[in-house]
A and B are shown apart, each in its own frame.
Chain A
Amino acid sequence: MKKLFAIIFSVIGLVSMLPNIALAAGQKAPPLVVVAYTKGLSGLSLWWANLYNDNMLLFTILTGCVTPVAGILIGFVADYLLSLTGIDLTKRELAEH
């Protein structure tokens, strides 16, 4: 448990220090003002587009939190589907360089 906490705190520390490393998938983004066009939208889509236009901070926090959660949930589903095949998902036999 101690090790886990050490890892978690180290990771949090690193994330807070991270520079532009993650922005590396492309060239630096020039400043851009995009306004979501809400006409014709309704329900959740409308709320989401309005949030984008009105409260970028909340929009960012929600996106940043929902994405990993979605990843984990889909991971669990995929894990379950793979376990149905009957293969061992706990260890790897091959140990080579």
Chain B
Amino acid sequence: MEWLYLHMPISGVDLFWPGLVILGLGVGILGGFYGMGGAWMITPGLNILGFPMAFAIGTDIAHMAGKSIVSTIRHAKFGNVDYPLGIAMMLGTMIGFEVGAQIVMFLERIGKVDLYLRIIYLILLAFIFATVLLDYAKLKKKEKLAKEKGEQLDKLASGVTWYKTLHKIKIPPVMNFKEAQIRVSIWLPMIVGFATGVIAGLLGIGGGLIRMPALIYLVGCPTHVAVGTDLFEVMISGLYGTFTYTWKGRTELLAVFVMLIGAGIGAQFGAVATKYFKGIIIRVLFGSAVCIAALSIGQKLIARMYDLKWLDDVSTVTILGGLSILMVIIVVKAVIGMRQEVKMKKMGQA
């Protein structure tokens, strides 16, 4: 079975390449669907495959850059990427991230920072999950009320409408974001980007997990556009990260290629899959992923606090198992949608 192992020329290890392809495929589908880089999903998988951790981050970022190009191009074709909005957010994110990183350096002098930051991360994930649930419940209620009145709910209606309040702030310049179908002060995406950047910098994460819901609930982006625009940001930061991490000697290009085979196809599929899901369902599935991440982080936190090795393993199973279930749901629903579309097309031609 030697052919199943590939020798990595830089790190010098032999890796089970089908595992890398499958991991790439899974993360590609989820990343293309949710609009995230998904480093938090990849690291436990790479760990299991015995990937040398010194190369994990750089390899992960490089593959993330490659796959987010694929999904950004696909989302752009569907009209899901608002470039000006993405650029405005990125400006805020960059500054915010630097501020967050500086705060961490300051807090490190106090000590126990890691534990506090993990708790903050957990609270944040719980908050995002609660927001998604609230959004779903409110939207259902609105639908029910509209049905009782014999009306149909506006397609652009959403449950949580915090963005409507924020849209009232009209500090110039006010810009029209065509794809996102919003007209807001440019300061709104910049400030939201800044805030998400500070949090991402504080927590040491890429930020897609926070930016995606922030684009929906605070900026007022339709879900599909939030997914595409977020991926655009992931693409830019991923490309930058590829250079900086490689410069530090932390990228194993062969592994990037192998992962990209799965991730490129997965990202394309994940992006196309959004066609067959309503915005609210994407948000609910996103909330589920956030819930799984929170659960896994919580388990890891307890495992570290009480030195429980078995719980650490359970946290890996939680994240990989939970995300696999979500991936299956997305794939099945997308395949059903695709088959229906083809069937309708054939019926139209007949």
- Knowing A26-B204, A92-B275, A96-B279, the reply to whether A7 touches B98 (Cβ < 8 A) is no
B60 within 8 A of A: yes
Residues 236 to 273 of chain B near chain A (Cβ within 8 Å): 236-251, 253-254, 256-257, 260-261, 263-265, 267-269, 272
| B: number of interface residues (CB 8 Å) | 92
Contacts of B238 in A (CB 8 A): 22
With A and B bound together, what is the CA distance between A92 and B158 in angstroms?
19
In the assembled complex, the CB of B143 is this many whole angstroms from the nearest CB of chain A, namely 12
Q: Which of A11, A56, A77 has the most CB of B within 10 A?
A: A11
Chain B residues with Cβ below 8 Å from A90 are 77
Interface residues of B (CB under 8 A from A): 7, 9-12, 37, 39, 43, 54, 56-57, 60-70, 73-74, 77-80, 83, 87, 90-91, 93-94, 97-98, 101, 155-158, 197, 200-201, 204-207, 216, 222-224, 236-251, 253-254, 256-257, 260-261, 263-265, 267-269, 272, 274-280, 338, 341-342, 345
29 contacts between A and B (CB under 8 A): A11-B87, A20-B101, A21-B93, A22-B241, A23-B241, A24-B201, A25-B43, A25-B60, A29-B245, A29-B250, A37-B12, A66-B253, A67-B63, A67-B65, A67-B253, A67-B256, A68-B69, A70-B66, A70-B256, A75-B69, A78-B267, A87-B342, A89-B272, A92-B79, A92-B274, A94-B277, A94-B278, A95-B222, A96-B280
